Amino acid sequence: MMRKVSRKMFDHKQLSRDRTLVLSVIALTATIFFVFGNISLQSSSANTRETSGELHVRIAEGQIMSTVIKQPLRSMQEEIKEVDRSEHQSSVIPPFNLTVEERIEWFRKKVPEFEILKSNNLTKEFNGRVLEFFNKECDVQFFMTWISPVESFGRREFMALESVFKAHPHGCLLILSGDLDSVQGYRILKPLLDREFKVAAITPDLSFLFESTPAETWFEEMKSGNKDPGEIPLPQNLSNLIRLAVLYKYGGIYLDTDFIVLKSFADLRNAIGAQSIDVSRSWTRLNNAVLVFDMNHPLLLKFIEEFAATFDGNKWGHNGPYLVSRIVQKVAERPGYNLTILPPMAFYPVSWNRIGGFFKKPENKMESRWVNAKLLQLSGETYGIHLWNKQSSKFSIEEGSVMGRLISDHCVICEYKYSS
């Protein structure tokens, strides 16, 4: 408020500053009113419509509920929420060198920070949204998971999405992700949506996915903070379980986000790929980066049962590739488990310790011949390539390399920038 002063004490410079401040406050208030005045906030959702009809967004708890919008919309609350997610990501990784008891105590305190473990109004809509998304127009239904900050979903991951639609223009791809089920996530997927490809990110309801499965009790114990999560980040192991549960509930094809599709999966049914074979060409290890299963397949239930019964968060691969290998080996001779085991060339044509060669451009005629020969080989029985992102993320894709050529042939937007 302005003070009452005599004319003799009147300071013209102070008046000028006061007037400037008042005008600035009025201008800021008018701007806020103009931007937010027409937005009606409710306790759990907000409906916004632009009079031109171009903008129609329904947001619930900061998440996108419809993919009809043509322009991005972000509120202050959403901005803060997304930043918080990024900040919290590092805080939910267990410290090293803790005893089991110390880690359980640490985890019990950190449980509230694991957003994916929570249920809310949005997760309650999960099943309905999934059933609405998949319809008779879907030639093939794909699933992926993304339990990482939305900011870390980059060009490599988007490249994987493009390859799905290059081989399956009428397929449907659902990404189970709370972080991508947001305004920022919508912006990432928008180039594909603009081309009328059917892709969506939906926040999963883990309680629903694990309900009436052997993982239900395991999940309740984990949410209570009474179970050792292990040294490996829990989201990694949750992804191993979610892919099994979502295929059991709905059926379809699961792909890791570091998998490049080369040809249609339409002829595959109840299949898993061998990662390695021995000299007799018998498989020695399977992998869960690609899973193709009918709904309610009994083998999926066995996988889930094994996950819950033998969970170990301290051994890499124990709850993933090694798990599916253990169970398939156990049931191999039993009737009732309809399963096709594909050779490594189907999904894993290059091993993790040799993937770097796929990213390097040829430097001479011999290397050029190798690139051409490898591309010819991949055009045969290979459905796609697992890129072993933990290993290959440090490599740039050089133009003219195997990966550079594959991207050019299997993209739909084709805006990837190669390194020289």
Q: What pLDDT, on a 0 to 100 scale, did the predictor assign at position 335? A: 78
- Three-state helix/strand/coil letters over 179-231: CCCCHHHHHHHHHHHHCCCEEEEECCCHHHHHCCCCHHHHHHHHHHCCCCCCC
List pLDDT tens digits, range 291-325.
999 999 999 999 999 999 999 999 999 999 999 99
For 218, other C-beta atoms within 10 Å of its C-beta total 18
Q: What is the mean pLDDT of residues 72-91?
A: 38
Q: What is the mean pLDDT of residues 355-367?
A: 96
Q: What is the mean pLDDT of residues 231-248?
A: 96
What amino acid occupies position 395?
F
Q: What pLDDT, on a 0 to 100 scale, did the predictor assign at position 333? A: 74
Structure tokens at 322: 């090694």
Q: What is the mean pLDDT of residues 27-51?
A: 39
Closest CA to 337 of 281, 278, 296, 282: 296
12: pLDDT confidence band, cut at 50, 70 and 90?
very low
90: pLDDT confidence band, cut at 50, 70 and 90?
low
Q: What pLDDT, on a 0 to 100 scale, did the predictor assign at position 92? A: 73
Q: What pLDDT, on a 0 to 100 scale, did the predictor assign at position 420? A: 54
Residue 36 has pLDDT above 70, yes or no: no
Comparing 417 with 67, the larger pLDDT belongs to 417
List pLDDT tens digits, range 330-354.
997 787 788 999 999 999 999 999 9
Q: What pLDDT, on a 0 to 100 scale, did the predictor assign at position 7? A: 39
By DSSP bridging, strand 141-145 and strand 40-41 are unpaired
